[in-house]
C-alpha cells in the first residue's frame, strides 16, 4: 500500500483536478488473453476518437481514462504461491534457488517420500552409484571436497543432497509423505488446484498455487513389465528401484531383466555372489570405457586422505582440479553427429574394449555390439558387466520372454528357466507422461496430448522443453529436452531454475495472472528439433529414453543442441513467444504493473537512490543497470 506521503500527493492531485474540464476519451479495448492462434492476427491500427468536451472550466481539459490507478508501488511485487512437485536433485535446487531469486515467493515442495534425495533415496540395489564423477555431480555453488570415491555410491550422493537441503533451509518448504494425485487448472481464478494425498494420515485435500513446477525426475514412476503370468510367479519379484534388502541373494538362482544402467550395475555386482544368473536383454548396447575419459572400475576408486585434505585446505587447487574434470563433459558434443570422425572413433574404440572384456566368451561379441551408432542410447561405462557375462554362472539371453510361470520364465523358444528371484531393471515412464493427471484448459490432460498410445501429439510436445500450450503457469524442470547431450545435470538444472525465476519475477512484478507458450512457437520449436536430431546418431534405429523407447520416433530426452547452446537459450527468455492475461482493471497490462507511478524506496528518506554510482574500478559495463535486484534505493545483496 502507498505510504502517507504518496496518499497525500494523490489527494493533492485529485483536488487540483476537481472541477477542471475532463474530456472523456474512448480508448481501444485490449482483449485479454490475446488470441490463441498458431498464426499471428493482423491487428488494425489503434485509433483514439476525438475527445468529447464535458465542461469547460478554466479553459483546461484532459482525456478521461476508462481505468483507475491501482494503489501500489511498482517495486513491491505480489506474493506468488509456487508449488514444486518432487524432492530429488531438482527439487532441492528449487528450494535453494527460487527463494533467493524470487521476492515474496510462497514455496511448497511436495515429496511422496520421507526425505529429500529422489532416485538416490529410493534406489538401494547392490552396486548403485553414479557413473559421473562425484566432483561433477554436485551443485556448482556447494562443492564437497571430501567425496570418498571418484564415483560415489548412491548413499553418499543421497546424503550430499540432503545436506544441501539442510544447509540452505529447504526443509521449511517441504511436505514429506505427500503424494500429488492431480493438478487441475481453474480458469476463472487462474490458479492450479492441487489434489494431495497425505500418506501418513490417508487424508486427501486440495491446495492452490499460482504456478507449478514439476520436478519428478525422468525415471521416477518405475513399473514392472507387463508379461503374461507375471502375477503367478511365487519367487521374489522386485523392480531395481524397489529393492528388497532383506533377501539374501548368496547362492541363489536369479534373473535380471534389462540392460540399461541399473541392469548393468546389478549384473556386475550380483554375479560374484549368486549361484546362477540369467540375464535377459532385448536390445544390444554399447559399453563405454568411460563418459569423458574418467575410467571406471567395479572396485572402489577412493580418494586418499591427503587428496581430500588438499582440496579442503587449498581452494585454488580444488577449483583447478574441479574445472579440469568438469570441462571434459562439455567437449564431447561432436560425437553425437552421424558420420563424424568423433563418432567413428568411438565405435572403433568401444568395439575393441568390448572384445577384450569378453575374451572368455568371444561368441558374445556379435550378440552384444549394436548396429546403431554409439550415443544413440545413453552410454554406460558398465565396469565389470562384460566380465560378468563371460563367467560360467551367467547366461546371456536375447530370446524374447513369452511368459512367467510360478517358478520361472519361459522364452518364445519354449525354454523355461527356473529362478528363486527376478529383478526387473526395466526402467520407468520414459514417455515422460506424469504419473498423476494434469488437467489444463478445457479439462484436457497432459496425457491427452503426450501419450504415445493415442495422445494428440504422441510425444512430450512442448515449447523449448519449458511448457506446453494449453497448460498455463506450468513449467517442467529436468523434463523433456531438459539437458544437452553434453554438459552436466546439476549445471543444467540450476540454469533452468534460474530461467524460471525470471518467469516468476516477471509475473509477480507485472501483475501477470497467467502465461503460456504460443502454439505456433511450440510448433516451430518441434520443427527445429526435427531438423537437428535428423543429423545426429540420436535418430538411429535404437530404443532409448531419448525417444521414449520407440525407435524412429521423435527425440525428446535431450536438448537439440549442445549444453552451451541450451544455456545461452535459457539466459534470455523470448517473452514474445508467450501469451498473457493480467490483473488489474479491464485487464489493462499496465494498470496493476505501473500502480501509482511511484517506487516505495522513493518514499524512504534513508534509501540510497544513487546506488548505481560506484568506484570506477568496480563497474563492469556488461552488467551496468542490468541486475534485477539493483533498482535505485535497493541494497545490494
Q: Which of 281-295, 426-440, 586-600, 613-627 shows the lowest per-residue confidence on average (mean pLDDT)?
A: 281-295
475 vs 619, higher pLDDT: 475
CATH class, 80-221+430-560 region: alpha beta
270-311 confidence digits (pLDDT tens): 999 999 999 999 999 999 877 667 788 889 999 999 999 999
- The more confident residue out of 34 and 605 is 605
Phi-psi region of 130 (alpha: psi -120 to 50; beta: other; left: phi over 0): beta
Judge whether residue 319 has pLDDT over 50.
yes
Q: How, if at all, do strands 578-582 and 512-517 pair?
A: antiparallel
| Mean pLDDT across 447-469 | 96
pTM above 0.85, yes or no: yes
- HEC-encoded secondary structure of 243-276: CCCCCCCCCCEEEEECCCHHHHHHHHHHCCCCCE
pLDDT in tens, 8-44: 544 433 443 343 333 333 333 333 344 444 444 433 3
For 379-434, the pLDDT digits (tens) are 888 899 999 999 999 999 999 999 999 999 999 999 999 999 999 998 777 789 99
The CATH fold assigned to 230-291+332-424 is: FAD/NAD(P)-binding domain (3.50.50)
Residue 291's pLDDT is 67
Q: How confident is the model at residue 573 (pLDDT cuts 50, 70, 90)?
A: very high
Q: Using the predicted structure, report yes or no on whether residue 55 has a pLDDT greater than 60.
A: no
Residue-wise DSSP of 117-167: -THHHH---TT-B-SS-TTTSS-TTS--TT-SBSS-BHHHHHHHHHHHHHH
Q: What is the pLDDT of residue 165?
A: 98
- Mean pLDDT calculated for residue range 198-222: 92
Q: Is 42 exposed, middle or buried (0-12, 13-18, 19+ CB in 10 A)?
A: exposed
Q: Where are the domains of the chain?
A: 1-75+583-604, 80-221+430-560, 230-291+332-424, 606-637
pLDDT in tens, 492-537: 999 999 999 999 999 999 999 999 999 999 999 999 999 999 999 9
Please report the DSSP string for 558-621 in residue order: S-SS-HHHHHHHHHS--GGGEEEEE-SGGG-TTHHHHTTS--GGGG-TTS-TTTT---GGG--T
For residue 197, the number of C-alpha atoms closer than 13 Å in the C-beta half-sphere is: 9
The percent of residues above 70 in pLDDT, for the chain, comes to: 90
Domain pair 80-221+430-560 / 230-291+332-424, same fold:
yes
> Do the bridges between strand 61-64 and strand 21-24 make them parallel or antiparallel, or are there none, so unpaired?
parallel
Amino acid at each position: 500500500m502507498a505510504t502517507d506521503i504518496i496518499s497525500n500527493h494523490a489527494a493533492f492531485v485529485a483536488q487540483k483536478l476537481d472541477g477542471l474540464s475532463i474530456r472523456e476519451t474512448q480508448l481501444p479495448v485490449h482483449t485479454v488473453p490475446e488470441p490463441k492462434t498458431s498464426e499471428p492476427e493482423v491487428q488494425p491500427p489503434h485509433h483514439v476518437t476525438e475527445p468529447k468536451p464535458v465542461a469547460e472550466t478554466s479553459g483546461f481539459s484532459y482525456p478521461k481514462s476508462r481505468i483507475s490507478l491501482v494503489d501500489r508501488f511498482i517495486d513491491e511485487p505480489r506474493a506468488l504461491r509456487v508449488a514444486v512437485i518432487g524432492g530429488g536433485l531438482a527439487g532441492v535446487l528449487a528450494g535453494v534457488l527460487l527463494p533467493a531469486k524470487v521476492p515474496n515467493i510462497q514455496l511448497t515442495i511436495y515429496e511422496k517420500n520421507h526425505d529429500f534425495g529422489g532416485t538416490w533415496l529410493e534406489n538401494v540395489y547392490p552396486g548403485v552409484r553414479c557413473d559421473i564423477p562425484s566432483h561433477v555431480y554436485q551443485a556448482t555453488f556447494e562443492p564437497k571436497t571430501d567425496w570418498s570415491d571418484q564415483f560415489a555410491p548412491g548413499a553418499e550422493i543421497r546424503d550430499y543432497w540432503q545436506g544441501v537441503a539442510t544447509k540452505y533451509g529447504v526443509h521449511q518448504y517441504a511436505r514429506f509423505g505427500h503424494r500429488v494425485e492431480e493438478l487441475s487448472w481453474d480458469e476463472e481464478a487462474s490458479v492450479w488446484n492441487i489434489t494431495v494425498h497425505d500418506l501418513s494420515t490417508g487424508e486427501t485435500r486440495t491446495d492452490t498455487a499460482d504456478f507449478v513446477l514439476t520436478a519428478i525426475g525422468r525415471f521416477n514412476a518405475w513399473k514392472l513389465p507387463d508379461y503374461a503370468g507375471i502375477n503367478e510367479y511365487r519367487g521374489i519379484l522386485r523392480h531395481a528401484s524397489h529393492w528388497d534388502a532383506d533377501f539374501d541373494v548368496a547362492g541363489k538362482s536369479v534373473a535380471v531383466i534389462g540392460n540399461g544402467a541399473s541392469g548393468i550395475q546389478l549384473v556386475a555386482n550380483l554375479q560374484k555372489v549368486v549361484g546362477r544368473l540369467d540375464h535377459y536383454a532385448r536390445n544390444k548396447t554399447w559399453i563405454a570405457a568411460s563418459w569423458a575419459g574418467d575410467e571406471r572400475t567395479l572396485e572402489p576408486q577412493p580418494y586418499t586422505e591427503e587428496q581430500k585434505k588438499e582440496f579442503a585446505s587449498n581452494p585454488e587447487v580444488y577449483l583447478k582440479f574441479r574445472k579440469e574434470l568438469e570441462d571434459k563433459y562439455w567437449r564431447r558434443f561432436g560425437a553425437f553427429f552421424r558420420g563424424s570422425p568423433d563418432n567413428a572413433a568411438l565405435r572403433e574404440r568401444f568395439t575393441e574394449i568390448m572384445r577384450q572384456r569378453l575374451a572368455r566368451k568371444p561368441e558374445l561379441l556379435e550378440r552384444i555390439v549394436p548396429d546403431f551408432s554409439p550415443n544413440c542410447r545413453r552410454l554406460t561405462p558398465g565396469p565389470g558387466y562384460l566380465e560378468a557375462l563371460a563367467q560360467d554362472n551367467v547366461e546371456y539371453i536375447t530370446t524374447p520372454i513369452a511368459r512367467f510361470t510360478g517358478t520361472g520364465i519361459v522364452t518364445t523358444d519354449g525354454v523355461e528357466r527356473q529362478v528363486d528371484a527376478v529383478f526387473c531393471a526395466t526402467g520407468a515412464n520414459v514417455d515422460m507422461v506424469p504419473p498423476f493427471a494434469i488437467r489444463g484448459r478445457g479439462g484436457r490432460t497432459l496425457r491427452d496430448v503426450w501419450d504415445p498410445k493415442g495422445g494428440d501429439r504422441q510425444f512430450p510436445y512442448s515449447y523449448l522443453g519449458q511448457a506446453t500450450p494449453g497448460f498455463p503457469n506450468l513449467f517442467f524442470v529436468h523434463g523433456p529436452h531438459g539437458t544437452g547431450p553434453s554438459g552436466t545435470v546439476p549445471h543444467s538444472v540450476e540454469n533452468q531454475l534460474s530461467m524460471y525465476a525470471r518467469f516468476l519475477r516477471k509475473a509477480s512484478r507485472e501483475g501477470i495472472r497467467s502465461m503460456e507458450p504460443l502454439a505456433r512457437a511450440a510448433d516451430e520449436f518441434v520443427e527445429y528439433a526435427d531438423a537437428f536430431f535428423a543429423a545426429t546418431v540420436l535418430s538411429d534405429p535404437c530404443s532409448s529414453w531419448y525417444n521414449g523407447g520407440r525407435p524412429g520416433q521423435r527425440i525428446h530426452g535431450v536438448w537439440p543442441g549442445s549444453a552451451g547452446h541450451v544455456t545461452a537459450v535459457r539466459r534470455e527468455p523470448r517473452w514474445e513467444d508467450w501469451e498473457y492475461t493480467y490483473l488489474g482493471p479491464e485487464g489493462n497490462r499496465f494498470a496493476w504493473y505501473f500502480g501509482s507511478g511511484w517506487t516505495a524506496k522513493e518514499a524512504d528518506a534513508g534509501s540510497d537512490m544513487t546506488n548505481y554510482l560506484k568506484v570506477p574500478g568496480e563497474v563492469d559495463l556488461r552488467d551496468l543497470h542490468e541486475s534485477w535486484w539493483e533498482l535505485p534505493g535497493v541494497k545490494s545483496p
